[in-house]
Amino acid sequence: MKKIINAPTDVVTDALRGMAAAHPERLRVRFDPAFVARADAPVADKVAVVSGGGSGHEPLHVGFVGSGMLDAAVPGAVFTSPTPDAVRAAVGEVDGGAGTLLVVKNYTGDVLNFETAAELLEAENIGVRTVVVQDDVAVRDSTNTAGRRGVGGTVLLEKIVGAAAARGDDLASCHEIAERVSAGVRSMGMALTAPTVPHVGEPSFELADYEMEVGVGIHAEPGRERVELESADGIVWRLLEPVLDDLPFRRDDEVLLFTNSMGATPQTELYLAHGIAERFLAERGVRVTRRLVGPYITSLEMRGLSFTLLKLDDELRRLWDAPVSTPALTW
């Protein structure tokens, strides 16, 4: 294992110290329990948007804390869910009196721990609603979840519902918008290499030089098939076709296309794949009007990519375009 770390057990804490040092004007970082909050939180009379999950997917979620997106993010150990107490502490620090929306990726540990935190918060008379993201079309059940996994759609949902909260929507409205995004977003990814979890010390799986894993999860869970490496055209279509067919996305649908690096994919290859995806979607009559390209939900140093399609309407487009100011996403 080659990593720029000190002790494997201290990776998350050391990284959070670095975030605090790098973004003192944006972030407030707590360590016991660990969470990251907006420096200006709580924002009075605004719905707080809080998410979290295992570390190793950065910039998700901690990199998206800031104006127009998350009020707090709760990181667990690498690929490990945060505890209910940490979620409870984060919400307690950022709730501004209008309630809190919890954004949860569909993994068993995340769902159970956020549910427990929500029960504790409701007992303290803090209004809480929850949305569970489950956009991965690759498999129905996987190593860490029952049902579909929450992947790239989480990034888009956090941005859009964060904008809704920033414009003053109440908790019920924010929850409705979040559910609408969740219903209209689909994703699928692939890998050329595996990540190495620091405290494990070896790759999560082995691939031959001529193989790729299609439908891989962000915790290196198995996908739907392991096949011989294809050309970029073949890879893009192998991922996009099941995404298009699942909702389904139809001719003249307006979409946001998110082309994501799993962590170690060079930008050159990522843009190459994005261009192919745009061409394929145009051939199917699907109109790409918004785009995001880059490493926004990763799996440590996994080399691979994923595509996410979100069906847009006028309101979702406006919310996507609304200002955002976070360490990882700003416009």
Please give the positions annotated as active site: 57, 219
What distance, in Å, lies between the first and last C-alpha atoms of the chain?
A: 37
| Angle subtended by helix axes 153-166 and 314-321, to nearest 10 | 80
Rounded to the nearest 10 degrees, how much is the dihedral formed by the CA atoms of 216, 319, 284, 250?
A: 90
Question: What is the H or E stretch that residue 174 is in?
Answer: helix 171-183
Burial bucket for residue 128 (CB in 10 Å: 0-12, 13-18, 19+): buried
Asked if residue 51 lies in contact with residue 102, where contact means CB atoms within 8 angstroms, the answer is: yes
- Rounded Cα distance between 87 and 294, Å, is 28
Q: What is the CA radius of gyration of the chain?
A: 19
SS3 260: strand
CA-closest candidate to residue 238, choices 213, 208, 266, 270? 213
What token pair was written down for 230? Answer: 């294809």
Half-sphere exposure of 55 (CA within 13 A, CB side): 23
